[in-house]
Amino acid sequence: MFLVWFEKFFINTPWPLIVLGILILAWIGSRSIPVVIGTFLSFMLIGYFGMWEDTMSTLAIILVATFLCISIGIPMGIAMARSNKIQALIVPILDVMQTIPSFVYLIPVVMLLGIGKVPGLIAVCIYAIPPIVRLTNLGIRLVDKDVLEAADSFGANYWQKLFGVQMPLALPTIFAGVNQTIMMALAMVVIASMIGVKGLGLPVLRAISNQYLALGLMNGLAIVVLAIIFDRVTQKFGLRMQKYRNDGKD
């Protein structure tokens, strides 16, 4: 499966290449030297403390989960923005997904699919998908009615309006959703490790049950570091995408 391939790819590739790749991505995303230097130092520390493999596993599941959430969540958000009925249908489902304790849906997932990466991935996605759906919907609905009317008056059809006007104008909001989704996926890593997902969550879990303070702290901090890097890079990227707003008066 995709996830397995991804994880193997991350673990087996020599670490300097991975670090280089991540630094390049960080630069493309943020265009900020401090962020890139911070990223470099963090990964060096992670490697120094021997958490490299776990970090790579976590990275793999986060990336796959985020990719899944985006590819399901954005179309869902678009559908919600198009029709009030669909919105009325999906909102309660999202409420349930966000508030129900994760353990409750871990039980049926494990019962049906057993223990391993796939159920772990599903659990992470259930938890992480609501923000991207909600914010896509919100972003599209908040697009200025006057501008949409203008597009209408020139004879734009639904898809031309969606991809030419609504999505580009909703992008900053949608991006905030992507950011939130990544953060929530990271938060789920520890819980997912209970059902057999490898990665930084596993040592944390072990530390909790054995009261190894140092082990828990170190791996916990590694998660935090990953979170901060993801957050800074995606936020800076989101900001840059709305550059037309910066020098405007709006």
Partner 1 sequence: MSKNDILIKVNQLYKIFGDNSNEALDLVKDGMGKDELLEKCNCVLGLNNINLDISKAKIQVVMGLSGSGKSTLIRHLNRLIEPTSGEILVNEQDILSLSQKELVQFRQNNMSMVFQKFALFPHKTVLQNVGYGLAIQNIPVDEWDTRAKKWISRVGLDGYETYYPGQLSGGMQQRVGLARALATDAEILLMDEAFSALDPLIRSEMQNILLDLQSELHKTIIFITHDLDEALKIGDRIAILRDGSMVQDSDPQKIIMKPADDYVSDFIKDINRARVIQAKSIMTPSKSKSSGATVKEDMVLEDILQIMSDAPSKPVTIEDTKGNITGKIEMVNLIEGMKRPESQGTNITG
Contact set with partner 1 (CB under 8 A): 144, 146-147, 149-157, 160, 164-165, 168-169, 244-245, 247-250
When the beta carbons of 12 and 153 are compared against partner 1, the nearer one is 153
DSSP state of 166: I
Closest distance of CB 100 from partner 1, Å: 38
DSSP string, 189-217: HHHHHTTT--STHHHHHHHHHHT-HHHHH
Which CB atom, from 95 or from 152, has the smaller least distance to partner 1?
152
DSSP 154: T
Instruction: Report the nearest approach of partner 1 to the CB of residue 40 (Å).
Output: 34
Least separation, in Å, of the C-beta of 148 and partner 1? 9
Q: What is the DSSP letter of 115?
A: S
Comparison of 98 and 242: residue with beta carbon closer to partner 1: 242
Residue nearer to partner 1 on the CB measure, 48 or 159: 159
The answer to whether 82 touches 223, Cβ cutoff 8 Å, is no
CB of 143 to partner 1, least distance (A): 10
Nearer CB in complex with partner 1: 162/215 = 162
Exposed/middle/buried for residue 239 (C-beta within 10 Å: 0-12, 13-18, 19+): middle
Q: What's the min distance (Å) between Cβ of 134 and partner 1?
A: 22
CA distance 202 to 189: 9
| CB-nearer residue toward partner 1: 156 or 228 | 156
Least Cβ distance, residue 27 to partner 1 (angstroms)? 24
**In terms of CB distance, is 50 or 146 closer to partner 1?**
146
Local structure of residue 100 (DSSP, 8 states): S
Task: Answer whether 140's CB lies under 8 Å from 78's CB.
Answer: yes
Measured at the CA of 84, the angle between CA 137 and CA 104, to 5 degrees, comes to: 65
Encode 144-168: b = buried (16+ Cβ within 10 Å), e = exposed: eeeeeeebeeeeeeeeebbeebbbe
Contact yes or no for 54/198 (Cβ under 8 A): yes
